[in-house]
Structure 1
Amino acid sequence: MRRAVLRAVIGNAALRRIAAGFAIFTMAEHATWIAVLVFAYGRGGTTEAGVIALVMLVPAAVLAPFAATAGDRFPRRRVLVAAYGIQAMTMLAAAAALLSGASALVIYALVAAASASIVLTRPVQGALLPHVVRHPDELTAANVVAGTIEGVAILVGPAIAGIVLATANPGTVFLLFGVLLAGSALLMIGLRVEPGPVGIALDEPVASAALDGIRTLRSEAGPRLVVAVVASAWILWGTVDVLSVMLAIDLLKIGEGGAGFLVSAIGAGGLIGSVGGLALVGRRRLAAPLLAGVVLWGLPLAGIGIAPEAAVAFAFVAVAGAGRALLDAAGRTLLQRVSTDDVLARILGALEGLQMAALALGSIAAPVLVLVLGPQGALIVAGLIMPTIAALAWRGLRAIDTGVVVPDERLDAIRSVPMFAPLAPAVVERLAAGATAWTASAGTAIITEGEAGDAFHLIVSGTVEVTIGGRVVRTEGPGDYFGEIALVRDIPRTATIVATTDVELLSIARDPFLAALTGHRASRTAAEAITTSRFAEPGPGS
């Protein structure tokens, strides 16, 4: 099954196009980050590198939740085109400043703008992925493939930066990747995908819409814990970015380009982690691999602090990269599965903002750790952060796993309903997980004509009798469903449904039912067609 799922993902033209654009984006993100840190380090050492990292990341952290509202307000494909286009323009402007010898203030302002423009890509892409796959297992596979691509990009991007920095200057790095990102924008123009839900009215203020994502995280423990764990990994990422420059130049004596090659080794490890991540395909429980990735991301860096030798450093950062790839694939898949689709882009935007804030915190903490503990002590303490977080999060993540695991037969039953068939796999999985399985004894009135509708019902086994005004109009059995008319049209029940045998049912409450249908154009159209045809039949059934 795993091979079949991977073939389906690789054969998906929309996914291939998204992956190509994302590969360029990831290379650009990491290569230009190394370039600006080398520029800052050359001017003022670890302190200026850390401060500039903070200056670049704080605007990005603040902007991310607000920018991500575009992904729930407009078609996500168009937002992705705009994101790549803006990134290309800001990076080319930064390149012009660096190459022309502009003042440091101008250069840092432009690279901060380029950094801020990056925050839109991951939330929108993460919200788009569930709409281009056909099964929950394909969503896991798509995230694993994205992790593999990111690993390659983190390997190649900083390596390119290292080569360019050894022969030219940081401005050339920005110029190269600004041009490439323009290509990513062109790729997204040709993307064909069903628009995501319109979770935000066009006249709703951006600030209010952004706060909906934050309010969701405050009220829902599952998404909140996953976001906290995934975002915390970026504290270490920020520390590593700054310490890698210090490690390459001062401890390992491998020169400025060595910082790029160290980060490339993380990308190489990410490839290894992505291969291991293939084991996640078909696996519904993701807490254990997520936490294993968290631990592996941290501990090897503590090992470098104990033995700061070049060979050891490159090997250990590769292991850390494998852990990071594993935690990212498992964490993002779990978050997509536990978050509602109409607010998913904003939740991912909040995650992006927290990641930027965590990156800033790690970047500014690095010089403090070096000052207080020395280079080796700083690496040891930084490396122990993630195992501590894993220990604290273990119990909560196991509880989330239990809540999202849905038997295949229940998924298939929900998917068999025509109005649910067009929905993204993660949406179907949430509907199935939230559905109530129960048995109505023979003679039970499951719904009564004239009452308010509170749920949709799907028959798993047994038979029911449909009556209107006391007249029997038909019987229904396994695979049939009822209750949608009162919900879709907001009217009282149009029929009475009585169990003629013991009947096993799956029932979906009004709010999640309507949220799933009204947020998806094809499903909403299918539901309207079904209710219209039922009214045309003798005696509608719900």
Structure 2
Amino acid sequence: MTQTAAPQTAGVIDGARSAIAQSIRPLGAVFRNPALRRMQLALLGSLIGDWAYATAVAVFAYGVGGAKAVGFYFTVRLALMAVASPFFATLADRMPRRLVMIGCDLLRFVLVSAAAACLYVGTPAWPVFVLAGIASVSAAAFRPAQNAWMPSLADSTEELTAANGASSTLESLSFFIGPAIGAFLLTLTDVPTVFMLNAATFLWSALLVTGIHARPGSVAEEASRTEDDAEEQKPPAGVLRETAAGFRAVTSDRDILMVGSLLCAQTVVAGASAVFGVVLAVEILQTGPKGVGYIDSAFGVGAIIGGFVAIARAARRRLALDLSVGVILWSIPLLALWAWPHPATVFAAIVLMGFGNPLVDVNFATILQRITPDAVLGRVFGTVEGACIATMALGSLVMPLLIKVFGLGRGLGVLGAVIAVLVLPWLPRALRLDRDLAVPAGVPLLNAVPMFEPLTPATIENLARKLVRFEVPAGSVIVREGQESDRFFVVESGGVSVSHGDVLIRHEGPGDFFGEIGLLRDVPRTATVTADTDTVLQVLEREDFLDAVTGQSEARMAADAIVSRRIAL
């Protein structure tokens, strides 16, 4: 028996080492990227401060009105955030995302500092609660802006996934570090001091974000817009219509709806865990409420391991499947707790749930960043975030009823079964989405075209999916001078001759391109192109080419430079 267990243990250890090794390279790329490094450090400082601040607010509320005051404050806070998130996220699509993040940081700095000042001068409790609540609501645009900005800062899909993984891991770490710092400072100082620490972390975050600059020509960050561009981006209607665009994007796209539904299924359990975690500690661990700390620690261990695994699996491009598995790992352990109510089962179940958490967080963010149009990306994140906060509150409300009606074990079993039933029907669509998100064969060919270099990886992939392959026999005329300009061509194999009148201008081979002059200048073909040998071409239609190139300033500048150089020849 020992001999059998040893190879199994060694296999688990080797698998863990492999996952860590496979995640080191993309994580290294994230922190070598100055923009992503600043983003992660800004997020870490802000999250640690937030958790320390939440601890201090809970202590203050308990001192004012006991457990009822704590519960009332956090319930109202979650409700306000759920309602505000879709509205505030509109800012992430209407303004430069860097400015939105900085504005959120500075506003929270002012509000939390004001709350600390109220405590120092001894005002009544209500101004502190009001300022603290407004500070929470004012954060509603920060994460949507960050998530919507990230694709423009990453140089590849794997790097984007790794950046989301780093963010998830930092959130898990801050879950422990922040409250620990808050509790430690409260033993040495007082609540106002912890408030000021949180205010300082917002300044830290704002300063780091100030130094972040998007990749040239990116869609998501448009800090370099001209005034005319900004004018074109003004909302055509009121705030409600603009906010509704996020809801429409979620409900009209089945893939986005799937991602949002899976995430909400997980957050129902996350909200319920705030209740059943305490009951598990009391009834099964028999440690009393303080055992929640042990449960949280087990969750954190699983989350850190899961984060490495999620990043390591990024190259396999199974984002939607991994997301689904992550949600299932929040349901199956509940069934195990029903079947085997034992302390060992509690820790095993919580570790599995922690392991599944980054599979959900990392992959949901990456999928939305890749399938959502950039124009509504911030609002989609805000809509999904608002829904998740609402379903988290729902879970915390439903769990006490399940325990009262069925008891702890059966209540957990019912919750786990319901979540599993909600997830399983989405699996076929998840598998189909993963096939759609596979890297198209034409990506390397498009990456070699100079005018496409400023485009984000997601934009290149979308273009590659629109390529149409043409095989042209030797001697065939591909385009003729004076014809309508309707397509852009890239030579995959073979070769072509480009001539103007009777004059041969140049020969082009694999990786070269033609057709851009007529499209960009909106004129008929300026040259005749003939296949020298049997040639394979990849073709983009006029609208697809122009949308990609003219929609980003750096790409347009690169294209204009190529056109000017070729006309001069």
Sort the TM-score into its range (normalised by shorter chain).
Answer: 0.7 to 0.9
CA separation of 1:476/1:278 partners in 2, compared to 1, >3 Å: closer, same or farther? same
Q: How far 1:33 moved relative to its partner?
A: 5.0
| Residue 18 (structure 1) aligns with | 39
Q: How far 1:427 moved relative to its partner?
A: 2.1
Q: CA separation in 1, counterparts of 2:483 and 2:401? A: 66
CA deviations over 1:443-480 (Å, ceiling 9, x no partner): 55544555554432211012234355686544432111
Whether the 8 Å CA contact 2:78–2:393 is kept in 1: the answer is yes
Q: CA separation in 2, counterparts of 1:248 and 1:212? A: 44
| Residue 5 (structure 2) aligns with | none
Aligned to 1:297, the other structure's residue is in SS state coil
Aligned to 1:210, the other structure's residue is in SS state helix
Q: CA separation in 2, counterparts of 1:392 and 1:372? A: 28
Q: CA separation in 2, counterparts of 1:282 and 1:108? A: 46
| Residue 138 (structure 2) aligns with | 117
Q: How far 1:522 moved relative to its partner?
A: 1.8
Whether the 8 Å CA contact 2:442–2:467 is kept in 1: the answer is no
Whether the 8 Å CA contact 1:50–1:242 is kept in 2: the answer is no
CA separation of 1:73/1:162 partners in 2, compared to 1, >3 Å: closer, same or farther? same
Residue range with higher mean Cα deviation, 51-60 or 308-317: 308-317
CA separation of 1:534/1:362 partners in 2, compared to 1, >3 Å: closer, same or farther? farther
In the alignment, does 2:546 pair up with 1:514? Answer: yes
In the alignment, does 2:484 pair up with 1:463? Answer: no
1:148 alignment partner AA = T
| Residue 515 (structure 2) aligns with | 483
In the alignment, does 2:65 pair up with 1:56? Answer: no
Structure 1: unaligned runs, 5 residues or longer:
538-542
Whether the 8 Å CA contact 1:152–1:268 is kept in 2: the answer is no
| Residue 100 (structure 2) aligns with | 79
Q: CA separation in 2, counterparts of 1:95 and 1:106? A: 10
| Residue 161 (structure 2) aligns with | 140
| Residue 234 (structure 2) aligns with | 203
CA deviations over 1:491-537 (Å, ceiling 9, x no partner): 44444444444332222334443333334332221122122223323
| Residue 350 (structure 2) aligns with | 317
| Residue 424 (structure 2) aligns with | 391
Q: How far 1:324 moved relative to its partner?
A: 0.5
CA RMSD across the alignment = 3.6
Structure 2: unaligned runs, 5 residues or longer:
1-20, 223-228
Q: CA separation in 2, counterparts of 1:30 and 1:110? A: 17
Q: CA separation in 1, counterparts of 2:117 and 2:293? A: 22
1:404 alignment partner AA = L
Residue range with higher mean Cα deviation, 472-481 or 243-252: 243-252
Q: CA separation in 1, counterparts of 2:352 and 2:119? A: 34
| Residue 127 (structure 1) aligns with | 148
CA deviations over 1:409-428 (Å, ceiling 9, x no partner): 63221111111112222222
Output aligned runs, 1:372-387, within 5 Å.
Answer: 372-387=405-420
Q: CA separation in 2, counterparts of 1:104 and 1:244? A: 30
CA deviations over 1:339-386 (Å, ceiling 9, x no partner): 333433333233222222322332333344344444444443334444
Whether the 8 Å CA contact 2:45–2:205 is kept in 1: the answer is yes
TM-score if structure 1 supplies the norm length?
A: 0.85
Q: CA separation in 2, counterparts of 1:294 and 1:388? A: 11
Q: 1:183 aligns with which of 204, 212, 224?
A: 204
Q: 2:319 aligns with which of 286, 299, 310?
A: 286
In the alignment, does 2:89 pair up with 1:68? Answer: yes
Aligned to 2:442, the other structure's residue is in SS state helix
Q: CA separation in 2, counterparts of 1:503 and 1:392? A: 45
Structure exhibiting the larger radius of gyration computed from Cα positions:
2
Q: CA separation in 1, counterparts of 2:50 and 2:293? A: 13
Residue range with higher mean Cα deviation, 33-42 or 491-500: 33-42
Q: How far 1:125 moved relative to its partner?
A: 1.8
| Residue 403 (structure 1) aligns with | 436
Residue range with higher mean Cα deviation, 106-115 or 250-259: 250-259
How many matched pairs? 535
Whether the 8 Å CA contact 1:154–1:266 is kept in 2: the answer is no
Residue range with higher mean Cα deviation, 169-178 or 12-21: 169-178
CA separation of 1:254/1:522 partners in 2, compared to 1, >3 Å: closer, same or farther? farther
Aligned to 1:216, the other structure's residue is in SS state helix
Q: CA separation in 2, counterparts of 1:383 and 1:166? A: 39
In the alignment, does 2:29 pair up with 1:8? Answer: yes
CA separation of 1:116/1:366 partners in 2, compared to 1, >3 Å: closer, same or farther? farther
2:46 alignment partner AA = F
Output aligned runs, 1:244-255, within 5 Å.
Answer: 244-245=277-278, 254=287
Whether the 8 Å CA contact 1:72–1:344 is kept in 2: the answer is yes
Whether the 8 Å CA contact 1:458–1:480 is kept in 2: the answer is yes
| Residue 305 (structure 2) aligns with | 272
| Residue 540 (structure 1) aligns with | none
Whether the 8 Å CA contact 1:155–1:266 is kept in 2: the answer is no
In the alignment, does 2:559 pair up with 1:527? Answer: yes
Q: CA separation in 2, counterparts of 1:496 and 1:481? A: 13
CA separation of 1:280/1:512 partners in 2, compared to 1, >3 Å: closer, same or farther? farther
2:355 alignment partner AA = A
In the alignment, does 2:253 pair up with 1:216? Answer: no
Q: CA separation in 2, counterparts of 1:377 and 1:174? A: 42
Q: CA separation in 1, counterparts of 2:480 and 2:251? A: 38
Q: CA separation in 1, counterparts of 2:72 and 2:401? A: 11
CA deviations over 1:229-270 (Å, ceiling 9, x no partner): 234322222222344455557875656665455444423321
In the alignment, does 2:328 pair up with 1:295? Answer: yes
| Residue 3 (structure 2) aligns with | none
CA separation of 1:437/1:250 partners in 2, compared to 1, >3 Å: closer, same or farther? same
CA deviations over 1:16-67 (Å, ceiling 9, x no partner): 221111122333445555666677789576x876665442223322322332
CA separation of 1:458/1:534 partners in 2, compared to 1, >3 Å: closer, same or farther? same
Q: CA separation in 2, counterparts of 1:86 and 1:297? A: 36
Aligned to 1:422, the other structure's residue is in SS state coil
Whether the 8 Å CA contact 1:53–1:364 is kept in 2: the answer is no
Q: CA separation in 2, counterparts of 1:165 and 1:57? A: 24
2:436 alignment partner AA = G
